[in-house]
Every structure is written in structure tokens, then in C-alpha cells.
Amino acid sequence: MFDPLDRLIAQALQANARAPFSTVAEVMGVSDQTVARRYARMRAAVACKVIGLVDPYADGGVPWLVRLRCSPGAAAPLGEALARRADTAWIRITSGGTEIVCEAKARAGDATLLQQLPRTPRIEQISAHCLLHMYFGGATSPLAKIGELTPEQLRRLCQVAPPVRPARVTDADAPLLAALARDGRTELNVLAKQTGWSAAGVRRRIAELVAGGVLYFDIEFDARLFPMFAVQTLLWLSVEPAALDTAGEMLSADPQVAFVAATTGTTNLHATVSCPDMHATYRYLTERVARLPGIKGLETAPILRQIKRDRKSVV
């Protein structure tokens, strides 16, 4: 259904999410209409979408990974209920459909979700892991590891922008951030109507929030577009403290790894691994993870279903 040009366009937008289609077309050596048509088709098929995200650590945010072991049949309805909360960023069902893993954001000293979950029926076990340090993830994407774009193409896509004054997020930014979370390529004139600002003001504010490390853009994609990422598995590793940083850095360099972070809890290193199939996952675990320094234990949890995928963080 999708071909190498579709994949190159997705990678180009990962490099510069709001680049004009004319710029992408020039870099790809095709017409503007071809790029616009290809992206529209991928977006309509829910295979590729640009989204704007708020850094989970912005303004004192504290991101948590929460694992919920549920009674049989409870994971799906509970996951749907969690998806409606503003303080959850993504939600996945794992481990044969009996476990939910979600990212939640709290502010320092406030853990409302974690306080409410123990009172929720049909939850059998809860563990929460604070993200202490992110080795790979957030504004960095596994698409950057594929290497199908040449250095020259990346240079042309990522022209150095003039310096702007960095800014922190404010309540006035909420409409803008909400619109970009729905569609990171929303046109400036549309954003201007939704925010009440001028198009020039919207452009300037986006640049300020990006410069301040508050806002970044990501690509949501699925296995139809990138089959090498078809099977996703969560890893929970126990690593000797002296080897934790080395193991985290080594994992972050692997093309199969979409996310890796040091955490609190009984396991102290968490990663998301993407492979073409289960056989490739097995080889990665036995040939790569087994060679990491300081590994004392490993738990794996294949992702069966994504309930909330936009990973929008709370402002």
C-alpha cells in the first residue's frame, strides 16, 4: 500500500515537521502536489500523522510509567476510561490483555491519578515508575535511525532558523498546544483563528516554545508504513547501578529501540523495542540485550493494543 517515497516523506517531516510541502518536494525531487497527495493519503489511512507535543518535564512536570494488572476482561474498559483523562499521555494493553501500561504526568507533590487508582475496582496490582532520565525518546524518533535520508537532504530540510527568545508555556498557549496536538501541520491562518492571534504571532510563538524546549513535533506511524517496527515489546530491566548509564546509552543507539529511560522502582531501566516480528524480537533479546553490562533481570511485555496514541502531555 505504501512505498519508499511515502517512507521518505514521513522521515522528512520527522526532521522538520512543519516544513512546507514545496521544501520537502524539492529535497525529494518530486512535485509539491505529489508530496501533498502522499501525505494526505497516509494521514487519511491513519498511517502517518504529525503531532505537536509538550515535553513531559516542562514547568516542573513529573512523568510516570504506571503498570496496572487487571482482572480478566477489565483491561479494555479501564484503558478507555484512562484515555479520557487529561493527565494520561499514552495507554497500551500488554501481557496477553491483562495489563495496562500508561504514561501519566503529575506536578511535583501532586499525584492525583496514582492516589485514585487503588480505589478502582478490578485492579489487582499497581506499580509506578518515575522517569528519572530519558536516554532516547521525546523529541528524538526511531525514524532518525533508519538513515534513508542523506546528510545533504537533512541539511536542506533543517535550515538553521534565526534565533528567537525562548519561552515558557502559559495558560494563553493552551488553544495553540491543543490544536497542534490534534494536527501538528495545522496551517497558520487556522491556528490564528483558534487562538485569536495573528498568523505572524502564531509563527513566532511556536518558534519560542520550540526554542524553550517546551514544544516538539513527532510523527505517529504504524507498521503498514514501516514494517521493521511491526512488533513492539516493553522491556523492564534490573541493572546494577554502576552499569545503568552505560546500558541506557548502549540501548539508545540501537535502531530497534524507540524509547529508553532510567526509572524508579524494582526495575530501573525501561525500553520500548520495535522489531519486524517475534523471531527478530527473540534474537534482539538473546543477542543484544543479553550482552548489556550489569543486567540482573529482565521482564518483557508485548504490546497488544494502543488505546491512546497521541501521547499529548498535559500543560
Q: What is the pLDDT of residue 198?
A: 97
Does residue 111 have a pLDDT over 80? Answer: no
Q: What is the pLDDT of residue 118?
A: 57
Q: What is the pLDDT of residue 106?
A: 73
What digits encode the pLDDT tens for the residues 226-271?
999 999 999 999 999 999 999 999 999 999 999 999 999 999 999 9
Residue 55 vs residues 134, 181, 209, 250, 267: alpha-carbon distances, Å: 11, 12, 10, 23, 24
Q: What is the pLDDT of residue 236?
A: 97
Pair type for strands 231-239 and 215-221: unpaired
What b/e sequence results for 151-181 when a residue is b if at least 16 CB atoms lie within 10 Å of its CB, and e otherwise?
eebeebbeeeeeeeeebebeeebeebbebbb
Does residue 109 have a pLDDT over 60? Answer: no
- 3-class secondary-structure state, position 182: helix
Q: Which residue has the cell 506511524?
A: 221
What digits encode the pLDDT tens for the residues 145-169?
988 899 999 999 987 677 788 888 8
Q: Across the chain, which distance is largest between two alpha carbons, in Å?
A: 57
Task: Identify the residue with better confidence: 228 or 72.
Answer: 228
Q: Are 229 and 11 in contact (CB under 8 A)?
A: no
Q: What is the pLDDT of residue 117?
A: 67
What is the mean predicted confidence (pLDDT) over 37-49?
95
The overall average pLDDT reported for the chain is 90
What digits encode the pLDDT tens for the residues 181-236?
999 999 999 999 999 999 999 999 999 999 988 999 999 998 999 999 999 999 99
Residue 276: count of CB within 10 angstroms of its CB: 15
Q: How far, in Å, CA of 164 to CA of 289, rounded?
A: 42
Does residue 272 have a pLDDT over 90? Answer: yes
What is the mean predicted confidence (pLDDT) over 97-110?
79
Q: Are 71 and 125 in contact (CB under 8 A)?
A: no
Q: What is the pLDDT of residue 312?
A: 38
Give 9-29 as a DSSP string: HHHHHHHSTT--HHHHHHHHT
Query: What's phi and psi for 85, nearest 5 deg?
Result: -80, 140
Q: How far, in Å, CA of 294 to CA of 192, rounded?
A: 52
Q: What is the pLDDT of residue 313?
A: 35
Q: Alpha helix locations (H) across 16-116? A: 21-28, 32-44, 75-83, 112-116
